[in-house]
Amino acid sequence: MKHYLTKKKFLHLLMEWYHANKRELPWRGEKDPYKIWISEIILQQTRVEQGIPYYLNFLKKFPDISSLANSDIDNVLKVWEGLGYYRRALYAREAAKQMMEWHSGKVPAKFVELLELKGIGEYTAAAVASIAFHEPVAVVDGNVLRFFSRLLGIKDDISLPATINKIRKYTNYFLDQHSPGEYNQAIMEMGATCCTPKNPNCNLCPFQKYCYAFNHQKTSILPQKTKKINVNKRYFIYYIIEKNNTYYFQRREKEDIWKGMYEPLLKEFKTLKDAKRELTRFENHVGPLRHVLSHQHIYAFAVNCNIDKKLNQKNFYSRKQLKKLPMPVLVKKLLNLHNDKKSN
DNA sequence: AAACCGGGGCC
DNA sequence: GGCCCAGGTTT
């Protein structure tokens, strides 16, 4: 091999690049394991720029483990509102309780202990153990998979566990035993800002001459990912029920999207035709509002409704109370449309 | 192993 | 419209 990359050379190139190019982020240099843990939960499947304001706000509302462990579920979800993957917030609250019970109110220091906690998998356990407690374990996230698959020319499907384990071995080989947290953050920063999914900045990359993908013009086809998602279409009609200046809202309890979030009375239809037939029963409506999720396209309508149906009285909320309820982004958008129409 | 869980940014 | 994001849990 013409350009052989020793571990020493690899670490020198990586850390020199990192110290010159890293972004200043709120959790950089953070020592508090709680804050480091929260940052990692928020950043799961979430872009750093999108997560930052949520990180700051979450810590303002829940500054330590006990405040989160003793929190009201609605309040936690409210802070998470708009970020998506709402289970993360519920799991974090559960994990805080587990820390109170099992670890005397502290974030456990070991990878294997962290792994036992709700919402903490291989990635987050390694991130917290290495960044907060300097345990020498390498993280494997989307950035790490992309960086190594290109650098080393790994053509296996990166969504397969076998491929993830393969790349884990490589990144663990290169891991800086003395500053594993810095090493992990440096690789992720490479993937996020230099070795990007599309149009990577190879001209600025310190590994260019060692990189398989660059040297074989394969940056656009690596990493390989064969899995494709299929999108479901769903049709929602929300019934806006008002009574004495209060509004009927209910909590989503089923195993479905937005569990724990609040919404008006909902009926779901299998086809657009069925939904439109239902709409003919009402004088007017708003929608369809098309809402795109990763695996679902939702077409939502809202109608005014005065029904005699026996509805639980405690599910009627004043406008002031509504502001405290966590709601899906779609519901908030639809309510805005509905209110705009009424005021015209 | 595959399905499910959100919303936003980029191309 | 498709892809990806400092992934994890459930089936």
List bases, strand C, within 7 Å of protein CB: 1-9, 11
| Length A52 CA → C5 C1' (Å) | 14
Structure confidence at residue A3 as a pLDDT band (50, 70, 90): confident
pLDDT at res. A214: 97
Structure confidence at residue A344 as a pLDDT band (50, 70, 90): low
**What mean pLDDT is predicted for residues A252-260?**
96
Among the listed residues A16, A24, A40, A135, the single catalytic one is A40
- Whether A2 shows a pLDDT value over 60: the answer reads no
| Length A88 CA → C7 C1' (Å) | 10
Task: Give the tens place of pLDDT for each residue, A270-294.
Answer: 999 999 999 999 989 998 999 999 9
Judged by DSSP in three states, A265 sits in strand
Task: Give the tens place of pLDDT for each residue, A174-230.
Answer: 999 999 999 999 999 999 999 999 999 999 999 999 999 999 999 999 999 987 788
- Of the candidates A237, A230, A251, which has an alpha carbon nearest to the alpha carbon of residue A299? A237
Burial class (CB in 10 A: 0-12, 13-18, 19+), A293: middle
| Length A2 CA → B8 C1' (Å) | 42
Backbone dihedral angles phi then psi of residue A257, each to the nearest 5 degrees: -60, 150
Burial class (CB in 10 A: 0-12, 13-18, 19+), A104: exposed
Residue A46 CB in 7 A reach of strand B:
yes
pLDDT at res. A32: 98
Burial class (CB in 10 A: 0-12, 13-18, 19+), A337: middle
**pLDDT more than 90, % of chain A:** 92
pLDDT at res. A310: 82
B8 C1' closest Cα residue: A50
pLDDT at res. A308: 63
List bases, strand B, within 7 Å of protein CB: 1-11
Task: Give the tens place of pLDDT for each residue, A84-101.
Answer: 999 999 999 999 999 999
The nucleotide lying nearest A46 (C-alpha to C1') is C5
Instruction: Give A233-251 as a DSSP string.
Output: EEEEEEEEEEETTEEE-EE
Residue A85 CB in 7 A reach of strand B:
yes
What does the block give as tokens for A313?
Answer: 């009285």
**Known active-site residue A242:** no
Using an 8 Å Cβ cutoff, are A22 and A38 in contact? no
- Whether A42 shows a pLDDT value over 80: the answer reads yes
pLDDT at res. A306: 81
pLDDT at res. A1: 46
Residue A49 CB in 7 A reach of strand B:
yes
- Whether A20 shows a pLDDT value over 80: the answer reads yes
pLDDT at res. A342: 66
What does the block give as tokens for A295?
Answer: 């695996």
Using an 8 Å Cβ cutoff, are A212 and A150 in contact? yes
| Length A228 CA → C2 C1' (Å) | 10
Task: Give the tens place of pLDDT for each residue, A283-329.
Answer: 899 989 999 999 999 999 999 988 767 889 999 999 999 999 999 99
Residue type, A230: N
Structure confidence at residue A343 as a pLDDT band (50, 70, 90): low
